[in-house]
Structure 1
Amino acid sequence: MKPRAFTIPGDRMRAAHVIRAMSEFVIAMTQAGHSLVATFSEESKTREQEAKYHSMIGDIAEQAEHLGSKWTAEDWKRLLLDKFARETGRTGGKIIPNLDSNGVVEVGILSRKFGKREASEFIEFLMSWGAENGCYFTEKVTDPETGEIFTVTWQMAKQREEVAA
């Protein structure tokens, strides 16, 4: 039997339609003598989300410094994921001794495990962090009428803190 995936939308009416289709499938398969395993998980992040946050991290790596030094995009990804995890109450990265006890290894949050919602939150976090740290971001945009591709550079406005009088 070939695996079958059902995506249940967040809209209640459309979800009911998909659930009915799932029910019909389950009934048909069990009547035919098949045992089934059902697994439910949050919708996976999209390739577009992944490309966007990797592009944003690359922009940050080109512009920002940490401890007075420039770092690679992969280094910045680890730093930003750790900060994102701590600020959002997720289990963050940990530093533990390596197996030879002569160094350390970072373990913890991985972007490849992000669901769609988590990837969106990480992109919003990067926008905010970039604004607070003066970073500009670049994006490729296609003109829908001409098909021409443009590179757009943008920066989020830094949030102003309200000062009580």
Structure 2
Amino acid sequence: MSRMSIIIQHPADRERMANIAWSIADGSRVEIKAPRRSLPQNDRMWAMLTSIAAQARHNGREYSTEQWKVIFMHACGREVQFLPALDGSTFVPWGQSSSDLSVSEMSDLIEFMKAWGAQNGVVFQDDTEVAG
């Protein structure tokens, strides 16, 4: 068995997981994670990033939504490294994807973006963008 992921939603899922636990090889690694961020949270984050990219500057520069996402992920304590591009002319960000964030972590990121936006004069398009 190379990789497996089970999302526990019903008692049958727990039973299936227990049966698998009895059959896996010694030394296998098992990870238990909190639920991932929701699709509405993801939509909200990208809507907020769009507003921020259209209205805000950082150190006098404009940034794309993807660049702002890296900046905010780093500000919230997510590891971000920059690796040299193959042609050596630029650097590319490498780090944790927002799709790996838990519901709680994504809520924290959205709240941080909301606070930063308020401090920097960003007007979000509607209230659903800033609901945690």
Q: Which has the higher contact order (CA 8 A, sep 6+)?
A: 2
Higher strand share: 1
Kindly state the Cα deviation for residue 73 of structure 1 after the two structures are TM-superposed. Answer: 1.5
Supply the distance in 2 between the matched residues of 1:126 and 1:26 (Cα, whole angstroms).
37
1:110 partnered with 2:97 = yes
Per-residue displacement from partner, 1:103-161 (whole Å, max 9, x unpaired)? 433212321211111111111111111111111112376xxxxxxxxxxx98xxxxxxx
Kindly state the Cα deviation for residue 67 of structure 1 after the two structures are TM-superposed. Answer: 2.9
Q: State the TM-score, normalizing by the size of structure 1.
A: 0.58
**5+ residue gaps in structure 2?**
none
Per-residue displacement from partner, 1:11-31 (whole Å, max 9, x unpaired)? xxxxxxx5x983x5567x58x
Moved more, 93-102 or 55-64: 93-102
Higher helix share: 2
Kindly state the Cα deviation for residue 101 of structure 1 after the two structures are TM-superposed. Answer: 4.6
**5+ residue gaps in structure 1?**
9-17, 142-152, 155-165
Contact 1:98 1:104 in 2 (8 A): yes
Aligned residues: 121
Who is 2:69 aligned against? 77
Supply the distance in 2 between the matched residues of 1:26 and 1:54 (Cα, whole angstroms).
34
**Residues 64 and 21 (structure 1), Cα distance of their counterparts in 2 relative to 1, 3 Å cut:** closer
**Residues 58 and 102 (structure 1), Cα distance of their counterparts in 2 relative to 1, 3 Å cut:** closer
AA aligned opposite 1:53: M
Supply the distance in 2 between the matched residues of 1:101 and 1:124 (Cα, whole angstroms).
36
Identity %: 26
Who is 1:135 aligned against? 122
**Residues 25 and 137 (structure 1), Cα distance of their counterparts in 2 relative to 1, 3 Å cut:** same
1:58 partnered with 2:50 = yes
**Residues 93 and 39 (structure 1), Cα distance of their counterparts in 2 relative to 1, 3 Å cut:** closer
AA aligned opposite 2:66: E
Q: State the TM-score, normalizing by the size of structure 2.
A: 0.70
CA RMSD of aligned residues (A): 3.3
Who is 2:84 aligned against? 97
TM alignment of 1:1-165, pairs within 5 A: 5-7=7-9, 18=11, 22=14, 29=19, 35=23, 39-85=31-77, 90=78, 92-99=79-86, 101-139=88-126
